[in-house]
Structure 1
């Protein structure tokens, strides 16, 4: 892995959405190492496992809201308890059209924004462009 590769963690239980994001990543032209986890608990476990590895820690996280085991909101609460020292750009990525979900995302200091599904090539390229690796 080179220093210029961007680590992307997608937390989403929808396999079709994961497939679409993988295809979009390929079309951005960026070097991206994409990892996906199907619920918040698996993501927390993964982050605990790699927390000391700077090469693997995500630069960008896309987090779905509605998932089994640990949903997006519960993941964020668990993430805050991890006390990780590294910084990841975090965005909620959801098909939710509820204004209260958009407003709730704003209450988490770790969340940079709310993105409605489906993710576009343009939006992902914009997010990747902002990452400094």
Structure 2
């Protein structure tokens, strides 16, 4: 395995879901630095700060759809307007069972897929392995 820290940004307003993802990350045995933001606006502000400071961007982002201030879709729109050239694996992570949300995720060039909550350890390992293999 490649010796690399994977930077994970979780954008979700549900503290329980964030806690679960943190526990799943710990069980992967990968070197993952996880940070969470409670809404899309906080995440956009954080990413802009990273860019301004020439800091490393997240390798993986898990984005909830339904959040206050700036929801997942609004976050994606704002993120895409930043024209970031660094590839970031971005996934919608939602409890939504609406087919239109799954289809909408496919319309964004920056979104690699739609994951239904709860995130499984197997799925997270798959996402991390995908990043490490690049």
Band the TM-score falls in, shorter-chain normalisation:
over 0.9
- The answer to whether the aligner puts 1:123 opposite 2:123 as a matched pair is yes
- TM-score scaled by length of structure 1: 0.94
Q: Secondary structure, in 3 states, of the residue corresponding to 1:131? A: helix
Query: How far apart, CA to CA, are the structure 2 residues paired with 1:109 and 1:80?
Result: 9
Residue 87 of structure 1 deviates from its aligned partner by: 1.4
Query: How far apart, CA to CA, are the structure 2 residues paired with 1:103 and 1:10?
Result: 21
**Contiguous gaps of at least 5 residues in structure 1:** none
RMSD after superposition: 1.0
Q: Secondary structure, in 3 states, of the residue corresponding to 2:81? A: helix
Q: Secondary structure, in 3 states, of the residue corresponding to 2:118? A: coil
Q: Secondary structure, in 3 states, of the residue corresponding to 1:130? A: helix
Query: How far apart, CA to CA, are the structure 2 residues paired with 1:123 and 1:41?
Result: 26
- The answer to whether the aligner puts 1:83 opposite 2:83 as a matched pair is yes
Residue 85 of structure 1 deviates from its aligned partner by: 2.3
- TM-score scaled by length of structure 2: 0.93
Query: How far apart, CA to CA, are the structure 2 residues paired with 1:118 and 1:28?
Result: 16
Task: State the partner residue of 1:69.
Answer: 69
Residue 82 of structure 1 deviates from its aligned partner by: 1.1
Q: How many matched pairs?
A: 129
Residue 126 of structure 1 deviates from its aligned partner by: 0.4
Q: Secondary structure, in 3 states, of the residue corresponding to 2:84? A: coil
Query: How far apart, CA to CA, are the structure 2 residues paired with 1:5 and 1:22?
Result: 15
Q: After superposition, what is the alpha-carbon deviation per residue over 1:24-79, rounded to whole angstroms, capped at 9, x for unaligned?
A: 0000111000010000000000000002212xx10000000000000000000000
**Contiguous gaps of at least 5 residues in structure 2:** none
Q: Secondary structure, in 3 states, of the residue corresponding to 1:90? A: strand
Q: Secondary structure, in 3 states, of the residue corresponding to 1:9? A: strand
